């Protein structure tokens, strides 16, 4: 009896999985659990995916990356691109977590209230800094609230300041028309609109559930996007179902998206191979492991993304030896030429690591001037873009020896540095002697890939500079690099990745100025700050880009940071037909599954390549090339 | 008996209160920054932070806070998570997660007890024979090999062999089998080896030798005397094991993607979520203390020789 029961259960499971693969159900995995579903707090990839698919913006990107209407059916702008007016679709209803239309209609007020929520410092919206100066009066309004909250401004009440929101450049013209007035001409304004900061919110619903509860559960949200959240089990799964009342339902082909949390990428691959998933990302070890299997022919590579990884050098280092060296340009040049990035990247992509290389801060093929010229092709910057792998051990050693000559007394003693203990607990703790070898603290996470990466750096520096000159100390963080390492300045070298928030070089360069949000190393160069300020005053794109490119080339030349890798360009395998869904270098619409098509079987890599060729041919036609 | 239960009950209550008090006061020594999410902390002014902390009540006299905490705990108000699931009521989190851990935990205890007892009896009955040696091998393997290794192998190979799902799906019963079995592997080994040990000990006692000499059948001796006495020390732990199933399993829940309680306390500590840590430690302490209390009572029921009401409590057998 027992035996028969077991056979029955096995048979049942076989049946379940035989029918699991359909073309209207997309099954994927995720590793980071969203802390909240409040779509104004997108701090991880999972919550970005959920928000992008369950909430719509005024505009979105199509599969070629063009801005197309979404909740706004059309828009206009004035001649100098300072006033942007959006005309909303009528009759679009918010739906609940059962997919049923609510009594609330999506109106201009929802975008107004959403922005009011974002512009209140009490709500602690993380990316607000990116848009602080975007709209007329916004920076003053925000500062006004900060001053009242801090007690600096005792003459006004908080409510009085809140009442001045009408002075901010956002205005409801009528129920279906909203207007934004930017502080300066902003032809790239649409690229801002796909950021999480521009989602709508139905204030009556938020008031009903309480602002504090908004997004803490699926029934504490309503949805304006092509999907709604039908299930959210913390640390287990998120299920999105197609919004049958969606204004553009005919272009949403997948009826259900199941996101399953797994603890290990190895499990995801196994699940895919057994038909439990529609697609899976692959790491280097998995790619190697699949080389002699039938799956080899199915592995393809995704496109490069606009995310850029760079090394931050800590100019505020608490390690006196590194602090003395990092301020020296020759030493920084030695680092620039001393890192074999292709070798490092081969840990991620053993077959074609050079595909991952990116040596500029602003990504290529993302922003173009009025003549269609790529920003990264501007004079000065183009040389860095085309530099490829800058590894040159001979040059690195020459620069290092120059730095040594300038910073030591000729007997290996580093000037002004005494022997002492460097206490950076819990990340690292070591002793320095104020002599060569120079000790450099490189930080990595506890993941095996990061650890391998750091160990390779350690070995590389030993080879290039010699153990008598440089000794790499490795430090680890457990959870959050920013909290544990960057904010308390417990590193000499660390790398991080940064997404390109909106379509202007200011999105990255503006955050790298003195005290900027992504200036992790705390360096300061008044010349760079001045160039960024000067560029930001220019309206004509070619003038603007020329100065930004000069500023970017300058900091690359002075080696304050070392960009080395792009995001994306990862190995994958799956049933997804590429280039059927939105494509964009900014915001969250690139995470949308609207338009995505699935096939019943995994796609061969050769077929993906064919689709890719066709896509780029179509794109070139569209761009008139 | 009733008197004893009442006395042990009050002792347990006092123990729980002491544990809660110590834990609560220790958490009050933690930095106040732990009451903020990182973004909140960065965005708030010093005045905002003070107002926020005052609002939370953590600036009040610690004794007042403790009484308030107990009152909230009794009424089911455990506060809200700060950093793990910001602003979500802890009772909601527990309501979602406990059923998974409890269900798998109870099944695993049941499997452990049934299979562990059967295995232990079999090993004792076949002492030094092949069956005993195979059983010992299993116990040693489960104890000596890091659990992650064999659990991962089970997940990879057994699921492949029987075409079972790799991870747990609530609506697919086939996916429940492996996590439940995996969860009981060490429990089976634990019950088997201890029961074997106690039974072998009993078998060597004089009264058993006397019973054998009297010519009583071996099966009768084993069932009525050896097994019964050998079970006494083991049943003491049963209530604790059952109650603490709600704590879940860090590894198994993680590899099979079961959204239970396993790892929640560790994660809360790592994320410095004071209110969540506080609530979880309280729950686990209460369950632990009452598990011991129930174990004592159960032991007394199983073994009438234990005189509970006497001033000098004698225990014939201790684990």
Q: Identify whether B188 is part of a domain.
A: yes
**Same domain assignment for residues B247 and B101:** yes
Q: What is the pLDDT of residues B14-62, one digit of tens each?
A: 998 998 899 888 888 877 777 776 666 665 667 667 777 777 777 888 8
DSSP code, position A182: B
pLDDT at A5: 40
Among chain B residues, the shortest Cα distance to A211 is held by: B87
* Each residue's pLDDT tens digit, A229-262: 999 988 889 999 999 999 999 999 999 999 999 8
Residue B73 has pLDDT above 50, yes or no: yes
**Closest C-alpha among A32, A48, A575, A26 to residue A265:** A32
pLDDT band for A480, please (50, 70, 90 cuts). confident
Shortest CA gap B160–chain A (Å): 8
Residue A19 lies in a domain: no
Q: Are residues B102 and B86 in the same domain?
A: no
In terms of average pLDDT, the best of A167-181, B149-163, B299-313 is A167-181
Sign of the dihedral through C-alpha A73, A76, A81, A85: negative
Which among B85, B156, B165 has the least Cβ separation from residue A276? B165
Burial of A489-516, coded b for 16+ CB within 10 Å and e otherwise, reads bbbbbbbbebbbbbbbbbbbbbbbbeeb
Q: State the pLDDT at residue A516.
A: 86
Q: Has residue B313 been placed in a domain?
A: no
* Chains A–B, number of C-beta pairs less than 8 Å apart: 113
- The minimum CA-CA distance between A237 and chain B, rounded to whole Å, is 8
The Cα–Cα gap between A561 and A555 comes to 7
Query: In this structure, are B43 and B53 located in the same domain?
Result: yes
pLDDT of amino acid B43: 58
What integer pLDDT is reported at residue B313 of this predicted model?
Answer: 47
User: Can you give the pLDDT at residue A607?
Assistant: 96
Position A181 confidence tier, pLDDT thresholds 50, 70, 90: very high
Q: Tell me the nearest-neighbour CA distance from A152 into chain B, angstroms.
A: 10
Q: Which two tokens stand for residue B35?
A: 């009451």
Asked if residues B57 and B65 have their Cβ atoms less than 8 Å apart, the reply is yes
| Residue predicted with more confidence, B310 or A150 | A150
Residue labelled with tokens 């600036």: B59
| Mean per-residue pLDDT over chain A, rounded | 90
Tokens of A34: 């969203």
| Residue A342 covered by a domain | yes
Which long-range contacts link A141-149 to residues 24+ away (Cβ below 8 Å)?
A141/A165, A141/A167, A141/A168, A145/A120, A145/A121, A146/A121, A146/B45, A149/A121, A149/A122, A149/B44, A149/B45, A149/B47, A149/B48
**Which of helix, strand or coil describes residue A149?**
helix
Using an 8 Å Cβ cutoff, are B275 and B80 in contact? yes
Which residue would you say has higher pLDDT here, A500 or B100?
B100
> Are B103 and B57 members of one domain?
no
- CA dist A88 and A70 (Å) reads 9
pLDDT value of position B41: 67
Tens-place pLDDT, residues A586-604: 889 889 999 999 999 999 9
Q: Quick: pLDDT tens for A342-395.
A: 999 998 888 889 989 999 999 998 898 888 889 999 999 999 999 889 999 999
- Taking the CA of residue B162 and the nearest CA in chain A, the distance in Å comes to 6
The answer to whether position A430 is within a domain reads yes
Whether the Cβ atoms of residue A463 and residue A397 lie closer than 8 Å to each other: no
Using omega within 30 degrees of 0 as the cis cutoff, is the peptide bond preceding B112 cis? no
Q: Which two tokens stand for residue B184?
A: 């009981």
Asked if residue B32 is part of any domain, the answer here is yes
Share of chain B above pLDDT 70, in %: 92
pLDDT value, residue A361: 95
φ, ψ of residue A368 to 5 degrees: the values are: -130, 145
Could you read off the pLDDT of A508-532 as tens digits, one per residue? 999 899 988 889 999 999 999 999 9
List the single residue in B with minimal CA-CA distance to A42.
B39
Question: What local confidence, expressed as pLDDT, does residue A20 receive?
Answer: 42
Q: What number of helices (H) and strands (E) belong to chain A?
A: 20, 24
| Domain enclosing residue B120, as ranges | 93-262
Lowest mean pLDDT among B55-64, B87-96, B201-210: B55-64
Q: pLDDT tens digit string along A40-78?
A: 988 788 999 999 999 999 999 999 989 999 999 999 999
The confidence score (pLDDT) of residue A487 equals 83
Start-end of H helices in A151-202 = 158-162, 189-192
Given a cut of 90, whether residue A96 has pLDDT beyond it is yes
Whether A281 is in a domain gets the answer no
What CATH number does the domain containing A390 carry? 3.10.105.10
Q: Which domain holds residue A454?
A: 305-496+560-568
Task: Provide the CATH number for the domain around residue B196.
Answer: 1.10.3720.10
Residue A11 confidence (pLDDT): 39
Instruction: Summarize pLDDT for B228-286 with one digit per residue, the tens.
Output: 888 888 888 888 888 888 888 888 998 888 999 988 998 888 777 888 998 998 899 88
Q: Is residue A617 less than 8 Å (CB to CB) from chain B? A: no
ipTM of the complex: 0.73
Task: Let me know if residue B218 belongs to a domain.
Answer: yes
Contact A10 B163 (CB under 8 A): yes
B165 contacts A235? CB cut-off 8 A: no
Answer yes or no: do B116 and B253 share one domain: yes
Residue A218 located in a structural domain:
no
Q: Are B99 and B242 found together in one domain? A: yes
Q: Answer whether residue A18 shows pLDDT above 60.
A: no
**Residue A400: inside a domain:** yes
What pLDDT does residue A266 have? Answer: 81
pLDDT digits (tens, 9 = 90+) for A528-550: 999 999 999 888 889 999 999 99
DSSP-assigned states of every residue in B133-174: HHHHHHHHHHHHS-HHHHHHHIIIIIHHHTT--SS--TT-TH
Q: Is residue A477 part of a domain?
A: yes
A423 to chain B, any CB pair closer than 8 A? The answer is: no
Chain B residues within 8 A of A483 when measuring between CB atoms: 38
Split into its structural domains, chain A has a count of 1
Look at residues B257, B268, B261 and name the one whose alpha carbon lies nearest to residue B84.
Answer: B268
Does residue A9 carry a pLDDT above 50? no
Domain count, chain B: 2
Q: Which two tokens stand for residue A15?
A: 């049946």
Question: Are residues B170 and B42 part of one domain?
Answer: no
> In chain A, which residues have their Cβ closer than 8 Å to the Cβ of B172?
13, 16
Is residue A515 left, alpha or beta, with left meaning phi > 0 and alpha meaning psi from -120 to 50? left
Residue A332 is predicted with a pLDDT of 97
The number of CA neighbours under 13 Å toward the Cβ of B296 is: 19
Q: Per the CB < 8 Å rule, is A150 touching B85?
A: no
Chain B environment of A271 (Cβ under 8 Å):
166-167
Q: Is the pLDDT of residue B296 over 90?
A: no
Q: Which residue matches tokens 């602080």?
A: A132
Distance CA A615, CA A123 (A): 42
pLDDT at A146: 85
% of chain A surpassing 70 pLDDT: 96
pLDDT for the residue numbered A10: 38
What's the confidence (pLDDT) of residue A566? 94
A35–B contact, CB cutoff 8 A? yes
Based on the fold, state whether residues B101 and B171 are members of the same structural domain: yes
Q: What is the 3-state secondary structure (H, E, C) of A17-36?
A: HHCCCCCCEEEEEECCCCCC
- Cβ of B156 and A217 within 8 Å? no
Higher-confidence position of A486 and A246: A246
Q: For CA atoms B249, B250, B253, B259, give the dihedral sign.
A: positive
Minimal CA separation from A527 to chain B, in Å: 29
The reply to whether B46 and B178 lie within a common domain is no
Within a domain: A390: yes
Cis peptide before A426 (omega within 30 of 0): yes
Mean pLDDT confidence for B145-161: 88
Tokens 């502080």 map to which residue? A183
Query: Residue A5 is encoded by which pair of tokens?
Result: 């029961």
Cβ-contact A432, A464 below 8 angstroms: no
């Amino acid at each position: 009896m027992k035996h028969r029961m077991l056979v029955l259960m096995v048979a049942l499971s076989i049946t379940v999985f035989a029918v699991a693969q359909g073309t209207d159900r997309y099954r994927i995995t995720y590793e980071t659990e969203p802390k909240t579903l409040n779509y104004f707090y997108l701090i991880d990839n999972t919550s970005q995916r959920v928000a992008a698919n369950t909430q719509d913006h005024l505009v979105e990107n199509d599969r070629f990356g063009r801005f197309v209407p979404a909740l706004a059916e059309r828009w206009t702008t004035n001649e100098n691109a300072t006033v942007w007016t959006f005309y909303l679709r009528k009759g679009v209803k918010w739906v609940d977590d059962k997919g049923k239309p609510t009594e609330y209609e999506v109106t201009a007020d929802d975008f107004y209230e959403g922005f009011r929520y974002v512009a209140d410092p009490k709500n602690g919206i993380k990316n607000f800094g990116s848009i602080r100066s975007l709209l007329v009066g916004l920076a003053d309004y925000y500062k006004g609230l900060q001053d009242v909250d801090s007690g600096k401004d005792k003459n006004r009440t908080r409510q009085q300041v809140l009442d001045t929101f009408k002075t901010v450049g956002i205005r409801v013209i009528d129920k279906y028309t909203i207007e934004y007035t930017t502080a300066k001409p902003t032809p790239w304004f649409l690229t801002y609109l796909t950021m999480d900061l521009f989602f709508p919110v139905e204030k009556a619903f938020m008031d009903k559930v309480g602002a504090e509860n908004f997004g803490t559960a699926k029934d504490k949200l309503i949805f304006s996007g092509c999907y709604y959240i039908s299930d959210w089990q913390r640390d287990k799964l998120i299920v999105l179902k197609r919004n049958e009342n969606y204004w553009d339902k005919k272009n949403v082909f997948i009826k259900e998206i199941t996101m399953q949390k797994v603890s290990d990428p190895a499990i995801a691959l196994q699940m895919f191979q057994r038909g439990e998933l529609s697609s899976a990302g692959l790491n280097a070890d998995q790619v190697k492991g699949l080389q002699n299997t039938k799956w080899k022919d199915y592995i393809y590579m995704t496109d490069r993304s606009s995310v850029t990884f760079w090394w931050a050098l800590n100019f505020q280092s608490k390690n006196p030896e590194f602090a003395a060296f990092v301020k020296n340009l020759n030493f920084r040049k030695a680092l620039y030429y001393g890192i074999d990035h292709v070798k490092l990247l081969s840990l991620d992509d053993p077959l074609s690591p050079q595909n991952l290389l990116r040596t500029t801060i602003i990504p290529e093929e993302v922003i173009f001037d009025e003549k269609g010229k790529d920003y990264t092709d501007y004079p000065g910057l183009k040389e860095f873009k085309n530099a490829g792998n800058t590894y040159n051990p001979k040059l690195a050693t020459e620069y290092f020896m120059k730095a040594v000559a300038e910073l030591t007394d000729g007997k290996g003693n580093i000037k002004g540095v005494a022997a002492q203990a460097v206490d950076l607990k819990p990340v690292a703790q070591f002793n320095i002697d104020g002599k060569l070898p120079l000790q450099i603290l490189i930080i990595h996470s506890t993941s095996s890939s990061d650890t391998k990466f750091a160990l390779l750096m350690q070995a590389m520096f030993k080879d290039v500079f010699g153990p008598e000159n440089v000794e790499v100390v490795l430090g680890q963080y457990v959870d959050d690099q920013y909290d544990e390492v960057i904010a308390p300045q417990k590193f000499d070298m660390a790398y991080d990745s940064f997404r390109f928030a909106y379509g202007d070089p200011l999105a990255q360069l503006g955050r790298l100025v003195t005290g900027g949000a992504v200036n992790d190393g705390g360096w300061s160069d008044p010349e760079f700050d001045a160039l960024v300020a000067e560029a930001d005053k220019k309206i004509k794109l070619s003038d603007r880009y020329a100065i930004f490119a000069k500023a970017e080339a300058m900091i690359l030349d002075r080696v304050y940071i070392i960009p080395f890798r792009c995001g994306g360009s990862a190995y994958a395998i799956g049933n997804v037909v590429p280039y059927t869904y939105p494509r964009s270098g900014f915001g969250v619409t690139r995470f949308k599954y609207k338009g995505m098509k699935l096939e019943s079987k995994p796609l061969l890599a050769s077929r993906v390549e064919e689709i890719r060729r066709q896509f780029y041919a179509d794109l070139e036609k569209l761009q008139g090339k | 008996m009733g008197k004893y239960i009442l006395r042990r009950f009050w002792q347990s209550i006092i123990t729980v209160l002491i544990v809660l008090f110590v834990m609560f006061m220790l958490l009050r020594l933690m930095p106040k920054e732990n009451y903020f999410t990182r973004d909140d902390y960065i965005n708030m002014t010093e005045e905002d932070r003070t107002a926020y902390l005052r609002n939370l009540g953590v600036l009040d006299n610690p004794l007042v806070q403790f009484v308030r905490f107990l009152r909230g705990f009794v009424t089911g108000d455990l506060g809200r998570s700060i950093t793990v699931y910001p602003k979500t009521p802890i009772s909601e989190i527990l309501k979602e997660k406990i059923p998974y851990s409890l269900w798998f935990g109870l099944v695993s205890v049941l499997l452990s007890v049934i299979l562990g007892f059967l295995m232990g009896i079999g090993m004792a009955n076949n002492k030094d024979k092949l069956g005993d040696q195979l059983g010992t091998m299993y116990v040693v393997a489960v104890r000596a090999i890091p659990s992650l290794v064999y659990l991962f192998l089970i997940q990879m190979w057994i699921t492949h062999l029987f075409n079972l799902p790799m991870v747990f799906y609530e609506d697919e019963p086939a996916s429940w089998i492996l996590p439940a079995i995996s969860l009981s592997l060490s429990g089976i080994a634990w019950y088997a080896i201890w029961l074997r040990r106690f039974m072998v000990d009993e078998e060597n006692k004089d009264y058993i030798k006397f019973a054998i000499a009297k010519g009583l059948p071996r099966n009768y001796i084993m069932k009525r005397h050896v097994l019964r006495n050998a079970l006494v020390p083991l049943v003491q732990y049963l209530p604790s094991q059952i109650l603490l199933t709600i704590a879940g399993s860090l590894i198994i829940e993680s590899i099979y993607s079961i959204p239970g309680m396993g790892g929640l306390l560790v994660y809360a500590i790592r994320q410095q979520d004071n209110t969540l840590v506080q609530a979880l430690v309280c729950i686990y302490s209460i369950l632990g203390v009452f598990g011991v209390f129930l174990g004592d009572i159960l032991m007394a029921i199983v073994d009438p020789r234990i005189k509970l009401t006497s001033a000098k409590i004698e225990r014939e057998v201790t684990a």
